[in-house]
Amino acid sequence: MTTTVAPNAPPAILSPQPEVILSTRGLTKRFGARIAVQDLSLEVRRGDVFALLGPNGSGKTTTLRMLLGLVWPTSGAISVFGQPFDDDARRQAALRRIGAVVEQPTFYPYLNARENLRGIAIFAGLADSPATRARIAWALEQVGLAARAGDAYRKYSLGMKQRLGIAAALLSDPELVILDEPTNGLDPAGISEVRALIARLAQRGVTVLLSSHLLHEVQQVCTRVAIIQVGRLIAQGGVDELLRASRGVLLSFDQPDGAQRAAQALYQARLPWAPFASYLRAETPGAGGWGLLVSAPHERAADLNALLVGAGITPAEVRRHEASLEQYFLSLTGGAALTQLAPAYTSDPGIATPTPHPAPEPTPDTTPTATSDATPDATPDTTAQGGQA
């Protein structure tokens, strides 16, 4: 008798997790009575373009200084390339694999780019040799300054000065590059140049850790982010992962109760591809107060519209909604009055109570005012290059 045995499915192929090359645990820094950074835990993985985001004065620069050994933490632990950052030998070994620019880089104004980089290379312990000169030429080529390498530093634009600082950070062929506000003060052309440079570094396999408050630029170039406010971590993860819940199909209604009626209809339909929805405050006055953001694939927009029309509910507008890192950031830091979200329904009991919620009362339009109530770091400008701190 022959027995037929069903074939087994092939084993799942698990992608290895990228190596964590920099991490902090409970990192805290006090300046007298002021807490600049509190209980900060980060993970930067090999190959990341990782952004540290926060308002001015939130502790970004202080954090980067602690990671480079320029400021001693009050408490907490730092690990770099799998080794504790707790003694001189380990710290110096790690810094030889890191290039960094903290704050605005400064150079001798009457020396040209090659001469400035040659001085930095010698100071960092590199031999004054043809190999070092070739390395300088390579770094200038990487940042797009090869054609202006003979010009005096004082003749450079702000964007060129910033790129020369990045060239200095590349002299040691680092595995990790740390950049503090690399596009701060630049015009749109300069921002685009620095963004393209960061993308090229990532393509070469260099891990990049940067701080910024220019959220649109970060969203274009970064793979993972950490958001801090008043020195505390409030979110961390992949950009796509953090924004996934804010993507979907946005329904707008002329009638004030349209969003609530639509939420009730969709909840009753139990659509497996639209498991939850949120009320999104209308972007324009007179649009019914609240729209409905449904967590559905964009290609299902017509299906949503047909279901609602069949239930006697006609949306005034149906469109795809792309998530914005700026909106996500403002919602976490308390500045998202114009893009306020409120739960509408969920069919997943693991997320919330599986019943539709009434739409919130419409609130008058307000314009958020940006303020900074934190004290900026009062430490001098520093350019850190691999092997010096």
CATH of the domain at 284: 3.30.70
Least confident stretch, 76-80, 251-255, 295-299, 359-363: 359-363
pLDDT at 349: 45
The reply to whether 128 and 252 lie within a common domain is no
CB 177 within 8 A of CB 98: yes
Would residue 354 count as lying in a domain?
no
The C-alpha atoms of residue 80 and residue 211 are separated, in whole angstroms, by 18
pLDDT greater at residue 169 or residue 214: 169
Would residue 363 count as lying in a domain?
no
Would residue 369 count as lying in a domain?
no
pLDDT at 21: 94
Residue whose tokens read 């393209």: 196
| Domain region containing 195 | 20-242
Q: Is the pLDDT of residue 25 over 90?
A: yes
Residue type, position 20, single letter: V
pLDDT at 347: 62
Least confident stretch, 8-22, 96-110, 361-375: 361-375
The angle, 0 to 180 degrees and rounded to 10, between the axes of the packed helices 113-123 and 130-142 is 120
pLDDT greater at residue 131 or residue 334: 131
What domain count does the chain have? 2
Confidence band for 288, pLDDT divided at 50, 70 and 90: low
With DSSP H G I counted as helix, E B as strand and the rest as coil, what are the percentages for the chain, rounded to 5? 30, 25, 45
* Cα-Cα-Cα-Cα dihedral sign, residues 191, 196, 200, 203: positive
The C-alpha atoms of residue 383 and residue 315 are separated, in whole angstroms, by 56
The reply to whether 294 and 195 lie within a common domain is no
pLDDT at 273: 86
Q: Is the pLDDT of residue 369 over 60?
A: no
Would residue 172 count as lying in a domain?
yes
Tens of pLDDT along 38-60? 999 999 999 999 999 988 889 99
pLDDT above 70 as % of the chain:
79
Tens of pLDDT along 254-273? 887 888 899 999 989 988 88
The reply to whether 177 and 154 lie within a common domain is yes
Would residue 7 count as lying in a domain?
no
